[in-house]
Amino acid sequence: MNEPLQKAITEDKAPAMKYLINNGRYYPKVVSSYPTMSVTIDSTLLTGTYSDQHKVPALVWYDEKEKRFISYGSDKKEILKLGPKQVLQNSLSQLNEKQLSDQVKTIHEELDENGLQSASINALIFRGNRSHKLQVPRLMQFFRFLKKDAPIKGATYFSYGLLSKINPENTHTHLWNGFGFNDKFATEEMKYLIEKDRVPSFSLVYFSDNDKKVHKKGVNETKGIEEADKKLQSLFNSYGSWEEALKDNIWMVMGDSGQTHIKGEKEAALIDLRKLLNGYKIYRINKPIQKDDQIVLGLNERMSFIYTLDNTIKHESLARQLQSDDRIDTIAWREGNTVNVISGTREEELSFRSNGKYTDTFGQSWDIEGDPQALDLSINKDGLISYGDYPDALARLYSSFYSHTGSYIIANTKPGYEFIGEGSPTHVGGASHGSLHEEDSFFPIIVSGTDLEPEHLRMVDVKEWIMRMLKG
């Protein structure tokens, strides 16, 4: 995030990122997608679309068509309840080959069709046109987690922890360092391509360690940034000089979302939706959906889908029930092509739909009824919509209601709080994300080696920007 990055640079603890900024451009406030969770964000980055088109709703959600609760792995407790085998298969074949829509193309697919190569290193979304065989350990084969030599479609060069290595000598794949899902492993993979003179047209390298540190230590934590900078220095040092590294490539260093400080007192910080909705029969995640289940909770830290399986439950009445907790920020539900929004604590209410008489700062048109303050919107006399605490809120919230089928409302917490339920992670005294609020939504981008700029400072515009760079 911007503030800890600036702190690390000021204290001379991020020389590589400082070098890129001094030799390029810095955008401190780029808008993420929604919910601000990894798989949805990565899908937006690689397809240039919001979830209404790429169809990956969140890290945790409910598939109405298959009557199945889906998690790509949000917490160890949740993984154990669902079963590691199910979560692994969700994250690999289900996410990339089934849930990510075939109506959109990833950067990897598009480049391959144009005769160009790409690399995906430890990214959660990696779909491409090239077939790869996973290097499945015998223990995983024995417990039937994955079949031996399981096929996968990915980028030209595909790296996914110990399951798929580009560098056969990469040893950072042990249990204690996440089976390869760590910054050391990712760095060694990219270094191998550099040193073998096999760097493709586009490489996506995911450094995941900082996220864990911020979740635990809070929003001012800089250690993860400092360590990531050392990995970046290592990549620069694989060239004859840092100048040569910049001459040979366009470099882009980016976050994927912000994080928000979570209060240090457990009772105050955590909003247990099971207690708020205790009059309903809530689905237990360690078993199939039961006939008498009325509600499924799709908890994504500071955001939650609340699915209604019982069609006698009215969305508005459920939303009003949630208003009883003043830690909840915004609550929304869809009626036909209209999205209704109420505030958790204020009187303002808002309804909106796409393709209307008002235009926002991103060139998108909307019809709006009610009080714009419900989403902290400003509308001037010319009908131009400006965003406040919830950047690009209309498009991001709207897309979430078209990301998958089902009957659900969407709730977000205020800064300082997060939702909890069965098996969900908690970050008391640390930091969390997921919501529509700007604290979760803004992230920085550093880019060096191009004069091209994005059409808008949003994650959804990054793919088009990258494709222009590659054409240039």
Give 10-residue mean pLDDT values along the chain (472 residues).
Answer: 96 98 98 97 98 97 93 72 70 87 98 97 96 77 62 93 91 76 95 97 95 93 96 97 96 96 96 94 91 96 97 94 94 97 86 97 97 95 97 98 97 97 91 97 98 97 97 80
Instruction: Name, in order, each residue with C-beta under 8 angstroms of 289's C-beta and a sequence gap of 6 or more.
Output: 67, 68, 69, 283, 296, 309
pLDDT, position 52: 98
Pairing of strands 270-272, 418-420: parallel
pLDDT, position 142: 46
pLDDT, position 136: 72
pLDDT, position 74: 67
Residue 362's identity, in one-letter code, is: F
* Domain boundaries along the sequence of the chain: 2-56+100-259+441-471, 266-432
pLDDT, position 140: 63
pLDDT, position 169: 92
CATH code at 2-56+100-259+441-471: 3.40.720.10
417 within 8 A of 326, measured Cβ to Cβ: no
pLDDT, position 139: 60
